[in-house]
Amino acid sequence: MILRMSTLFVRTLREDPADAEVPSHRLLVRAGYIRRAGPGLYSWLPLGLRVLRNIERIVREEMDGMGAQELQFPALLPREPYEASGRWTEYGDGIFRLKDRKQGDYLLGPTHEEMFTLAVKDLYSSYKDLPVWLYQIQTKYRDEARPRAGLLRGREFIMKDSYSFDTTDEGLDASYAAHREAYIRTFDRLGFEYVIVKATAGAMGGSKSEEFLARADNGEDTYVRCTHCDYAANVEAVEVAAPQPVAYDGVPAAHAEQTPDTPTIETLVDHLNEKFPRDDRPWHAGDTLKNVLVVLKHPDGTREPLAIGLPGDREVDEKRLGGQLEPTEVVAFEEKDFAANPALVKGYIGPGALGEKNASGIRYVVDPRVVEGTRWVTGADVDGSHVIDLVAGRDFTPDGTIEAAEVRAGDPCPRCFDTDGGTLETARGIEMGHIFQLGRKYADALDLRVLDENGKLVTVTMGSYGIGVSRAVAAIAENTHDELGLVWPREVAPADVHLVATGKDQAVFEAAAALAENLHGQGLTVLYDDRQKVSPGVKFKDAELLGVPTIVVVGKGLADGVVEVKDRATAERTDVALDEVPDHVVRVVRG
């Protein structure tokens, strides 16, 4: 195929679009790949669509290659299956709902677990039919609160979602592993740097869960990785390595002390160092046990207070907390909640009042670092008073632990700190894929059961696997661009070669046209800049901006029988004799 710049539906812009926050958005608009159609809604112009289709093709080939089967569900879906799974409500404002002319309720599908589950239920009935792996590449919808960064967080986007169906947990593990391998092959072909991080399954429930993140300094997702080993995890999924219990034989009995006007950790630490100085080292925030109150808003609408105990030098990370509790929502503990719990003394709340067995009856969960034997200063549940030498497991017993404390650079690596001393550092990325084990949630909700070897009905267990196909266009751009423009990896580039004819000499245009035909004849896609009245400078700038991997310039050198072949990524230039150009270019393109 030959795409001629003189007629191609594209216009490059020298100026950045006003609403573009990130390089990929800026460059994709400037290069004429996409246009905004509304908040979080984008139109694909021809070059952008070519990149999108290339990514779709790669994803499809790898899914087909692993033995998954493609089908396609509607995007407009009736309410009933989502009602049965509970997601009609769980999604809150996050999905688009609408009514048809008969006032029937519909939604625009955010993901299709329900439909896949029902399809398998419709067609299959025996363990012999399983495992089966099904997928679709489809337009999805989410009513994002803050659509942003162009294609990175849109409201209409293209996703590949696939699902595995097995009768046993071992089968699910195998299906999960097969998808993981296929994802690695897919992302390797897409040609950008990525990292596989442990993740929480979020609203989906389930057990094993990993995300494929594109490395990107301004990605939305923060993750942590070990400085030493290959541990990497979504911040939400980092599991603090719980320390071993500590001996507390020598710890004095807990004693309440007057600590007037110390409602904050900072004032408390200052007060402790002034009034109760320690011999070995000064008090610091990490010696205190901070008790944070929140209210859980359950999907059924009920409210439940929750107390979280954590070292005073750490804040609660709302995303980590939310990730643990989804689909339950976390909201603020308000004055009315204090009023309803008179045992709580604001600023001086301690384990003495917390926990299901204590005065408030509020469930009390603590950071995993609060292990048996650890020794804390914390609220005495009396105004202006704290307890010192309060020992976990001796003086109080929480109702459980929770991973809600912020993760910090320098924290011990949960995998290798004990043996190798690795610590965590934070990095940012863009979520490109998510694989996780759904388990039996949807099969239970929609009654997907099959007969096992013994003729007994068993509930099917599922895995769910997604790739953000349209997001990948932006993520790749984000990951590979340079200061001059886009730099496409070869497999996703909108063309194999960007052929530029410069100057006014008709011989140049004739030679370039012949070269375009020759390369096209060899199966390459040629973006041919055949514009007659555009200066070489503008053409070169456009070529840098558009980002086709190989740029061939037919210009002044033609008089000497020479054509320039340039690598967009490395800027390496090679002069090639005109008649050797086709072979040379084909070799470069095909590797």
Could you list the residues that contact a copy of itself (CB under 8 A)? Answer: 1, 7-11, 32, 35, 37-39, 41-46, 49, 52, 64, 67, 69-78, 93, 96-98, 100-101, 104, 106, 108, 115, 119, 122-124, 132, 134, 139, 141, 143, 145, 155-156
| C-alpha distances in Å from residue 502, one per residue of 499, 524, 525, 563 | 10, 21, 20, 11
Find the shortest distance in angstroms from Cβ 466 to a copy of itself.
19
Cis bond upstream, residue 46 (ω within 30): no
- Decide whether 135 or 192 has the Cβ nearer to a copy of itself: 135
- Decide whether 49 or 174 has the Cβ nearer to a copy of itself: 49
- Decide whether 240 or 513 has the Cβ nearer to a copy of itself: 513
- Decide whether 157 or 176 has the Cβ nearer to a copy of itself: 157
Environment class of 504 (CB within 10 Å of its CB; exposed 0-12, middle 13-18, buried 19+): exposed
Do 477 and 168 touch, CB atoms closer than 8 A? no
- How far is the C-alpha of 373 from the C-alpha of 351, rounded, in Å? 15
Find the shortest distance in angstroms from Cβ 118 to a copy of itself.
8
Do 40 and 565 touch, CB atoms closer than 8 A? no
Q: Containing H/E element for 42?
A: strand 41-44
> Which amino acid belongs to residue 277?
P
- Decide whether 122 or 300 has the Cβ nearer to a copy of itself: 122
Find the shortest distance in angstroms from Cβ 489 to a copy of itself.
22
- Decide whether 81 or 219 has the Cβ nearer to a copy of itself: 81
Task: Report the DSSP pairing between strands 363-366 and 303-311.
Answer: parallel
- Decide whether 134 or 589 has the Cβ nearer to a copy of itself: 134
Do 235 and 223 touch, CB atoms closer than 8 A? yes
Find the shortest distance in angstroms from Cβ 314 to a copy of itself.
33
- Decide whether 306 or 443 has the Cβ nearer to a copy of itself: 443
Task: Report the DSSP pairing between strands 363-366 and 400-401.
Answer: parallel
Find the shortest distance in angstroms from Cβ 133 to a copy of itself.
9
- Decide whether 67 or 252 has the Cβ nearer to a copy of itself: 67
Greatest Cα pair distance in the chain = 96
- How far is the C-alpha of 501 from the C-alpha of 78, rounded, in Å? 54
What DSSP string describes 334-383? -HHHHHH-TT--TT---TTT-STTSTT--EEEE-TT--TT-EEEEEEEET
List beta partners, residue 148.
153
- Decide whether 76 or 577 has the Cβ nearer to a copy of itself: 76
- How far is the C-alpha of 167 from the C-alpha of 173, rounded, in Å? 11
| C-alpha distances in Å from residue 563, one per residue of 304, 451, 551, 553, 587 | 73, 68, 10, 6, 16
Find the shortest distance in angstroms from Cβ 383 to a copy of itself.
43
Find the shortest distance in angstroms from Cβ 49 to a copy of itself.
5
- Decide whether 101 or 336 has the Cβ nearer to a copy of itself: 101
Find the shortest distance in angstroms from Cβ 99 to a copy of itself.
8
- Decide whether 80 or 510 has the Cβ nearer to a copy of itself: 80
Polymer length of the chain: 591
Eight-class DSSP state of 217: T
Distance of CA 554 to the CA centre of its chain: 43
Find the shortest distance in angstroms from Cβ 143 to a copy of itself.
5
Do 307 and 354 touch, CB atoms closer than 8 A? yes
337-362 in b/e form (b: 16+ CB < 10 A) is beeebeebbebbbbbbbbbeebebeb
Do 424 and 227 touch, CB atoms closer than 8 A? yes
- How far is the C-alpha of 4 from the C-alpha of 235, rounded, in Å? 47
Environment class of 483 (CB within 10 Å of its CB; exposed 0-12, middle 13-18, buried 19+): exposed
Find the shortest distance in angstroms from Cβ 295 to a copy of itself.
22
Do 415 and 225 touch, CB atoms closer than 8 A? no
Find the shortest distance in angstroms from Cβ 258 to a copy of itself.
51
- How far is the C-alpha of 43 from the C-alpha of 54, rounded, in Å? 17
Find the shortest distance in angstroms from Cβ 100 to a copy of itself.
5
- Decide whether 90 or 567 has the Cβ nearer to a copy of itself: 90
Find the shortest distance in angstroms from Cβ 114 to a copy of itself.
10
Find the shortest distance in angstroms from Cβ 417 to a copy of itself.
43
By C-alpha distance, which of 366, 275, 293 is closest to 330? Answer: 293
Q: Around 138, how many Cα atoms within 13 Å sit in the side-chain half-sphere? A: 20
- Decide whether 333 or 509 has the Cβ nearer to a copy of itself: 509
